[in-house]
Amino acid sequence: MKPGSRDERDAREEEGPVPELFTWEFATDPYPAYAWLREHAPVRWTELPSGVGAWLVTRYGEAREALAEGRLSKNPVHHAEDSRARGKTGIPGERGADLMTHLLNIDPPDHTRLRRLVSKAFTPRRVAEFEPRVRELTDRFIDGFAARGQADLIHEFAFPLPIYAICDLLGVPAEDQDDFRDWAGMMIRHGGGPRGGVARSVKRIRAYLVELIDRKRAGLGGSPGGGPGEDLISGLIRASDHGEQLTANEAAAMAFILLFAGFETTVNLIGNGVHTLLGHPAERRRLQESLARGESALLESAVEELLRYDGPVELATWRYATAPLTIGGRAIAAGDPVLVVLAAADRDPARFGGPDTLDLARRDNPHLGYGHGIHYCLGAPLARLEARTALAALLTRLPDLRLGAAPGELRWRGGLIMRGLRSLPVEFTAET
Ligand code: HEM
């Protein structure tokens, strides 16, 4: 029997009833199923709803190893199944394909070169300088519903905040930002799948970004009316003009991934985070008291703990074995897809004390919510800034914030990679 073959996998498949994955109950609370997998089948070949199979890795140690494993490629050309199956993994065909040659779909040496370039432009300093703007946006969106005494925190707050923030940071002109909100809304509603309206959105976004980059490049070249911009796209162009090259396609793909990797993730960090806090009144009070004293330490550890406890990225993005390898004693064949289940790893009792307990002051918290290794989240400083600002503003301005629906009435999106609520109705004493 060929090591790693489906026959061998089946022969070695775990005993006992396997919890059903990808059901409505699972989307609402996947953690019991993940606990079972961690204990009984920590590296498990699983058929996904799309019909494509993949290895799910659920223990912390193996998850961290897999994220840093050089033989696991991010490039979908290494997927053994046919191109039809590849299409089902959510990688669009010709029209949007060149936008898809971004950091999350490429390996070294291209990845190394592009990541170095973008790191020169997307610096922690640039993010820190952006703080007043994030505060302003946060307050503007809260102003929109504060007098009403109730709101849908996903649609009115968590959704617009990151999209306008990243548009500003990238240098998308204010008059075009509403278009991005609409395109992003389309992609979120349809789970980023490649067909229909989403493909049209991707095409429009591509055309828009290519033109924007051209305009900025011309401006940087000293053409009349154009000065060197302070925004991230201009920074990227400037960085690429000093030695290492960035092709027009690569620049558009980079702008695309910055817009979209940082969008649905941050929506869900804020949404899941507020949802978790509302369900843990003692921890939430502790955070409110700390904010009232003007402290920031608990807010910082709280954002990390909320990411660990119920983070937005349930599974890290796809990886494909380029050579046979072993993970957690299971033989993975070349061409097999591997999905690292961050949400399961971050509740592994072998790594976290009391993993199912929310402890906003948790100190030893090396969670995998932002990934690990060379693809570690590039936008983590921005995500942290947005989450801290959003939570602090909500809990300070709307101190008696409470859920506006019975917990059982909340609906989760049930996508494969992301975990997030469709809406989050809340109530509070209206601001006068
Ligand atoms: C990569 C999570 C926000 C840009 C990743 C990865 C994770 C992640 C888990 C690694 C995926 C993998 O290895 O398969 C998150 C979470 C966020 C967040 C939880 C918010 C709460 C952002 C923001 C931006 C961003 C705001 C940009 C503005 C990126 C990029 C990558 C990435 C460009 C690819 C890096 C590479 O391949 O080198 N993120 N992210 N993310 N993230 Fe984030």
Number of the ligand 1 atom closest to the C-alpha atom of 74: 14
- Ligand 1 proximity of 385 Cβ (cutoff 6 Å): no
Number of the ligand 1 atom closest to the C-alpha atom of 342: 9
Report the separation in Å between the CA atom of 272 and the middle of ligand 1, taken as the mean of its atom positions. 17
Angle between helices 160-170 and 248-261 (to 10 degrees): 150
Report the separation in Å between the CA atom of 104 and the middle of ligand 1, taken as the mean of its atom positions. 9
Evaluate if residue 207 carries a pLDDT over 90: no
For residue 184, what pLDDT band results from cuts at 50, 70 and 90? confident
Evaluate if residue 2 carries a pLDDT over 80: no
Q: What is the pLDDT of residue 429?
A: 97
Q: What is the pLDDT of residue 35?
A: 97
List the one residue out of 38, 65, 66, 110 whose CA is nearest residue 317: 66
Domain of 297 in residue numbering reads as 6-427
Q: Is position 140 within any domain?
A: yes
Residue nearest (by alpha carbon) to ligand 1 atom 22? 262
Q: How many CA atoms lie within 13 A of 45 on its CB side?
A: 18
Q: What is the pLDDT of residue 243?
A: 61
Which CATH number does the domain housing residue 310 bear? 1.10.630.10
Least confident piece of the model among 37-41, 74-78, 242-246, 263-267? 242-246
Report the separation in Å between the CA atom of 14 and the middle of ligand 1, taken as the mean of its atom positions. 33
For residue 242, what pLDDT band results from cuts at 50, 70 and 90? low
Report the separation in Å between the CA atom of 282 and the middle of ligand 1, taken as the mean of its atom positions. 31
- Ligand 1 proximity of 166 Cβ (cutoff 6 Å): yes
Least confident piece of the model among 133-137, 241-245, 384-388, 405-409? 241-245
Q: Is position 49 within any domain?
A: yes
Segment of 185-194, 355-364, 400-409 carrying the highest mean pLDDT: 355-364
Number of the ligand 1 atom closest to the C-alpha atom of 106: 37
For residue 355, what pLDDT band results from cuts at 50, 70 and 90? very high
Q: Is position 432 within any domain?
A: no
Mean pLDDT of 337-357: 98
Q: Is position 1 within any domain?
A: no
| Cα–Cα separations (whole angstroms), residue 70 to 63, 262, 320, 328, 345 | 13, 25, 10, 16, 20
List the one residue out of 63, 73, 69, 67 whose CA is nearest residue 111: 73
Least confident piece of the model among 1-15, 220-234, 270-284? 1-15
Evaluate if residue 387 carries a pLDDT over 70: yes
Query: Each residue of 15-29: pLDDT tens digit?
Result: 567 789 989 999 999
Q: What is the pLDDT of residue 1?
A: 34
List the one residue out of 263, 327, 334, 339 whose CA is nearest residue 49: 339
Output the average pLDDT for the chain.
87
- Ligand 1 proximity of 259 Cβ (cutoff 6 Å): no
Evaluate if residue 331 carries a pLDDT over 90: yes
Evaluate if residue 94 carries a pLDDT over 50: no
Amino acid in position 418: M
Report the separation in Å between the CA atom of 262 and the middle of ligand 1, taken as the mean of its atom positions. 6
419 neighbors 272 (Cβ within 8 angstroms): yes
- Using a pLDDT cut of 90, give the percent of the chain over it: 62
- Ligand 1 proximity of 163 Cβ (cutoff 6 Å): no
Q: What is the pLDDT of residue 136?
A: 97
Q: What is the pLDDT of residue 9?
A: 52
What's this model's pTM, rounded to 2 decimal places?
Answer: 0.91
Residue nearest (by alpha carbon) to ligand 1 atom 38? 375
Residue nearest (by alpha carbon) to ligand 1 atom 15? 370
Instruction: Report how many domains make up the chain.
Output: 1
Residue nearest (by alpha carbon) to ligand 1 atom 26? 262
